[in-house]
Amino acid sequence: MAKIIAGVGTSHTPAIGAAVDNGKTGEPYWAPLFKGYEPARKWMAETRPDVVIMVYNDHVNAFDFKIIPTFGLGCAEEFRIADEGWGARPVPDVKGYPELAAHMVQSLVLDEFDMTIVNEMQVDHGLTTPMSLLFGQVQEWPCRVIPLAVNVIQYPAPTGHRCFMLGKAIRKAVESWEEDLKVVIFGTGGMSHQIQGPRAGLVNKEFDKAFLDGLSSDPQRLAQIPPLEYLRDAGAEAIELVMWLIMRGALGDKVKEVYRFYHVPASSTAVGHIILESMA
By CB under 8 A, name the binding residues for another protein: 14-15, 29, 59-61, 64-65, 83-86, 153-156, 192, 194-205, 207, 228, 231-234, 236, 264-265, 267-268, 270
CA–CA distance, 62 with 122 (Å, rounded to integer): 5
Which of 105, 111, 110 has its CA nearest to residue 72? 105
Apex CA 25: angle with CA 126 and CA 265, to 5°? 60
Is the CB of 63 or the CB of 97 nearer to another protein?
63
Please give the backbone phi and psi of residue 174, each rounded to the nearest 5 degrees, phi first: -65, -40
Catalytic residue among 125, 161, 263, 273: 125
Nearest distance in Å: CB 16, another protein: 13
Nearest distance in Å: CB 46, another protein: 33
* Catalytic status, residue 161: no
Nearest distance in Å: CB 77, another protein: 24
CA–CA distance, 54 with 74 (Å, rounded to integer): 10
Is the CB of 269 or the CB of 278 nearer to another protein?
269
Let me know: does 280 contact 9? Beta carbons within 8 Å. Answer: no
Let me know: does 129 contact 30? Beta carbons within 8 Å. Answer: no
Is the CB of 29 or the CB of 179 nearer to another protein?
29
* Catalytic status, residue 12: no
Catalytic residue among 161, 193, 263, 273: 193
Is the CB of 86 or the CB of 140 nearer to another protein?
86
Strand, helix or coil at 264?
strand
Residues annotated as part of the active site: 125, 193
